[in-house]
Amino acid sequence: MKTTFLENVIGYKFKNKNNLKLALNHRSISYYYNNERMEFLGDSLITFIIGEALLINFPEFREGFLSKVRADLVQSKTLAKLSNELKLGKYINFGLKKIKLQNNESILADTMEALIGAIYLDGGVNPTKKVVLSLFRNRLKKIKSSNFIKDPKTKLQEYLQYRQIKLPIYEIIYILNGKNEQNFLVKCCVEKYITTGIGYNRRNAEQKSANSLLKILNE
């Protein structure tokens, strides 16, 4: 299948088409002439480029939260979604063995990484950064949405890790059973400090107890 359309979609024209061809070769094609080495390189490049982008664009985020966001962005599920958005599956070359691509997250993610590795080998750092940041642009914009806003438990954990204090212990004290609902009473313990929280489920109660403890520590 011609790859010109793919090059147009990603915004990069390969000088050496063999780099692109190799990036699209599944290991079933050949023991040696496949994309696994490019995949290895691409994985490192994506992690680095996204890490740098987060560091530059979100100076208010601490290391723990940056790591969490980066892990979410570069995980196989996200890379597989990017592959589907690029319709990358249509271009992957397989051997004689029939391989179903539908829902095959691993192959799609690996090929995405190999493609980035191929761009780097073909054009260097700057074109690679340009392509990666373009592919992740919308996801980077959504970082401050509700999916990434730090909840009290996350804030408390980061606060304690930064100060090298042992992480909190959460414990259910009791569950109040009403006619139509349950209420959980949970305590949060950090060193000599203990706070409680009541919520409609365990997680909600833990968040409230963590928020109370954060207020004490910040005072």
Indicate if 113 belongs to the active site: yes
* Mode of pairing for the β-strands spanning 182-190 and 169-177: antiparallel
The DSSP-derived string for the chain is: ---HHHHHHHT---SSHHHHHHHTB-TTT-SSSSSHHHHHHHHHHHHHHHHHHHHHH-TTS-HHHHHHHHHHHHSHHHHHHHHHHTTGGGG-B--SS----TT-HHHHHHHHHHHHHHHHHHH-HHHHHHHHHHHTHHHHHGGGSTTTSPPHHHHHHHHHHHTT-PPPEEEEEEEEE-SS-EEEEEEEEETTEEEEEEESSHHHHHHHHHHHHHHHHH-
113 labeled binding residue: yes
* Mode of pairing for the β-strands spanning 169-177 and 193-199: unpaired
Which of the residues 52, 60, 105, 113 is marked catalytic? 113
Query: What is Dmax (Cα atoms) for the chain?
Result: 70
Other Cβ atoms less than 10 A from the Cβ of 113: the count is: 26
Which of the residues 43, 63, 191, 219 is marked catalytic? 43
Reading the block at residue 58, the tokens are: 């979100």
Indicate if 43 belongs to the active site: yes
Residues at the annotated binding site for Mg(2+)? 39, 110, 113
Query: Could you tell me which residues are annotated as the binding site?
Result: 39, 110, 113
Q: Which residues are catalytic?
A: 43, 113
